[in-house]
Amino acid sequence: MPEKKTSILLVEDEENLQEALKLNLELESYEVTSVYDGAEALKAVQQEHFDLMILDVMLPELDGISVCENIRLQNNDIPILMLSAKNSSADRVLGLKKGADDYLTKPFNLEELLLRVSKLLEKSRRSSTKQPLAQVYIFGKNQVDFKASECITKDGEKIMLTKKEMMLLKLLIENKNEVVTREKILQAVWGYNVYPTTRTIDNFVLNFRKYFEEDSRNPKYFHSVRGVGYKFTE
């Protein structure tokens, strides 16, 4: 039986660009479905599984930011590469906040787009093969019981964790040895309507160091990666 091709949903209303991207993606052996507006994009995602979406921001009917937000509110974790003629950092941050995995400004180099597509697909494949966390996770002298929302610290003290602490801890441990971006943390832990400051997340990480690190000033497990996000290492 032939191997199933990787499927991509291409959402772009500029006809010439749509055709050029479709042709080049197909030359890379991807199976491409094209739609021209935001409403059609949402319909396509509900009807069919795609491995990746390339999504233009400026679309008729429903703009790309709204499409992205809608998809994430449905808990659909399809990787999304957003394309935009807007190149300010504020536009980029908004796209990432609303759930895009990557953001590319027009005009772009075709090779760069193909490389980003490849990297997003590879990252998605890696995360889908990750083993689910056990109910009780042990690292060093620490023990976390995800079901009971409690942990035993390095000093042997049993403490209850808040729901947000537990969600953040689980997210970091699930992505062990990888940097989890601030945007991903906001989406997974705080949802889409509330955006705490970076300091809020920092305070959570400081609490984790207090509970679990032998030396909180030289952390072994919980690291802040300046300007990017946070990482759990073991």
| Residue ranges, the chain, pLDDT below 70 | 1-3, 75, 127-132, 191-198
pLDDT, tens digit, for every residue of 118-140?
999 988 887 666 666 778 999 99
Domain 7-128 in CATH 3.30.300.130? no
**What are residue 81's DSSP bridge partners?**
54, 102
For residue 128, the model assigns a pLDDT of 66
Q: 136-232 — its CATH code?
A: 1.10.10.10
Query: 117 CB contacts (<8 Å, ≥6 apart)?
Result: 8, 25, 28, 30, 52, 54, 81
Q: Are 57 and 86 in contact (CB under 8 A)?
A: yes
Q: Are 18 and 33 in contact (CB under 8 A)?
A: no
User: pTM value?
Assistant: 0.61
As a whole number of angstroms, the distance between CA 66 and CA 44 comes to: 15
pLDDT, tens digit, for every residue of 135-171?
899 999 999 998 888 999 999 999 999 988 999 999 9
As a whole number of angstroms, the distance between CA 225 and CA 181 comes to: 9
For residue 123, the model assigns a pLDDT of 80
For residue 29, the model assigns a pLDDT of 93
As a whole number of angstroms, the distance between CA 216 and CA 113 comes to: 41
For residue 191, the model assigns a pLDDT of 67
For residue 182, the model assigns a pLDDT of 81
Domain boundaries, the chain: 7-128, 136-232
For residue 2, the model assigns a pLDDT of 53
